[in-house]
Structure 1
């Protein structure tokens, strides 16, 4: 399990607005190359956005699906990057002062992924998510 948190100097509704914009994921998620498409109802439960990860010529196309969503405090996603695995990404937003405390927990999303997302890989996922949350902070603070 990789756990990260960050304080963002923007209200929870502003941070949630960034998370609700499927197109923004390529701007803040480290490793996401581009967003190819998104369901119009994103981030409704069951909706998806379709992404591309990697560096040319090694790119993979897959999707991320919304498992749970509560405006503006919770978004739980299942991110797929087959054949490498599936991750369950739990994003929690809590008001803190004038801003938002964002807590991000990433775990393996299925049994085969547990072989890749484990104690050995957790430090790498944690480091990637530190940078991702810094990017999210930049987007949200500029939006706010």
Structure 2
């Protein structure tokens, strides 16, 4: 089972905002072409996205289905890769000080991927996860801070008094 941890210098809400936007899936998932909603409201249970995976000159139509979602904390997906089979991908978000600890876990479920799964394949998945989590971090860390900052008036308690 390929499990990888990564600390993203953003709060979990900012990371969840990226994960919950199905149109941004291709920004952080390595090898994925433009994603489109296929069914349901992403990331609700049973919602899905469709996209292409590029493997050199080959293109493979894929679908990712939400199997479990705990908003803001956990997203469990089933990746359906046609003849390659299916895989479970889970991404958990935890507060880590002012940052977000990501725990990504992937393993094959059915098909060729499950049959040929071995230590070498596991190493390739780890390399892919390292790149994927770095891309996710860039999406989250480069985003403008969404936390409202108090104005000088609000901070000084002069709000609504007409005095600065």
- Equivalent residues in 2 for 1:1-144 (5 A)? 1-39=1-39, 41-55=41-55, 57-110=57-110, 112-143=112-143, 144=145
Does the Cα contact within 8 Å between 1:35 and 1:51 map onto a contact in 2?
Answer: yes
Q: Which has the higher strand share?
A: 1
Q: TM-score, normalised on structure 2?
A: 0.82
CA distance in structure 2 between the partners assigned to 1:109 and 1:75 by the alignment: 17
CA shift digits 1:66-98 (9 cap, x unpaired): 011001110000011111121100101000110
Q: CA RMSD in A?
A: 1.6
Does the Cα contact within 8 Å between 1:74 and 1:90 map onto a contact in 2?
Answer: yes
- The DSSP-based 3-state class of the residue aligned with 1:32 is coil
Where structure 2 has 5 or more consecutive residues not aligned to the other structure, the ranges are 146-164
- The DSSP-based 3-state class of the residue aligned with 2:79 is strand
CA distance in structure 1 between the partners assigned to 2:115 and 2:40 by the alignment: 34
Summarize the Cα distance change of 1:108–1:4 in structure 2 as closer, same or farther, 3 Å threshold.
same
- The DSSP-based 3-state class of the residue aligned with 1:34 is coil
Summarize the Cα distance change of 1:112–1:56 in structure 2 as closer, same or farther, 3 Å threshold.
closer
Residue 112 of structure 1 deviates from its aligned partner by 4.3
Where structure 1 has 5 or more consecutive residues not aligned to the other structure, the ranges are none
Q: Which has the higher contact order (CA 8 A, sep 6+)?
A: 1
Residue 109 of structure 1 deviates from its aligned partner by 2.1
Does the Cα contact within 8 Å between 2:40 and 2:46 map onto a contact in 1?
Answer: no
Higher Cα radius of gyration: 2
Does the Cα contact within 8 Å between 2:22 and 2:36 map onto a contact in 1?
Answer: no
Q: TM-score, normalised on structure 1?
A: 0.92
Residue 111 of structure 1 deviates from its aligned partner by 5.4
